[in-house]
Amino acid sequence: ERRLAPDLISYNAAVKACERGEAWEHALSLFAGMRHHGCAPDLITCSVLTTACASGRRWQMAVDLLKEMKESGFPRSVSLLTTVIQACEAEGQDQQVKLLLDELRFVGLEHLQGEDDEDDGLR
């Protein structure tokens, strides 16, 4: 009997379904299974999982995933940082909010610099 192994696309779809269904525990389980089976997560996987944790009021997990994304070389986005900041604010994590706001300022400036560079190429 042949069995199909899940791939990155199927894992991402399942993690997204968990995020939409507010099932962050299942999303984390899928993430662990994904790694166990040798399927490397991508930016989509990490972003959706981080959002699922933030929405599930698991601010520390969301922060840890942001750190892991940064260490893996994934780009940080203003919208993802904002989601995690809001989760930290909701849980009264003022110190973490301050740290993330500093990172948000940096990412926002990087983003604006990138837009300026693109505009220069159009002139």
CA 97 to chain centre: 16
Residue for token pair 């990412």: 107
Weakest-pLDDT range from 84-88, 93-97, 119-123: 119-123
pLDDT at 84: 93
Alpha helix (H) ranges present in the chain?
Answer: 8-20, 24-36, 43-55, 59-71, 78-90, 94-122
**33 near 65, Cβ under 8 Å?**
no
CA-to-CA distance for 101 and 36, rounded, in angstroms?
A: 34
Q: With bands split at pLDDT 50, 70 and 90, how would you rate the model's confidence at 114? A: low
Res 118 pLDDT > 50:
no
Average pLDDT over residues 63-70: 92
pLDDT at 17: 96
Q: With bands split at pLDDT 50, 70 and 90, how would you rate the model's confidence at 3? A: confident
Percent of the chain with pLDDT over 90: 63
Average pLDDT over residues 96-117: 75
CA 46 to chain centre: 4
Average pLDDT over residues 78-100: 93
pLDDT at 116: 47
Q: Is 5 helix (H, G, I), strand (E, B) or coil?
A: coil
| pTM of the predicted model as reported, rounded to 2 decimal places | 0.77
Longest C-alpha distance within the chain, in Å? 61
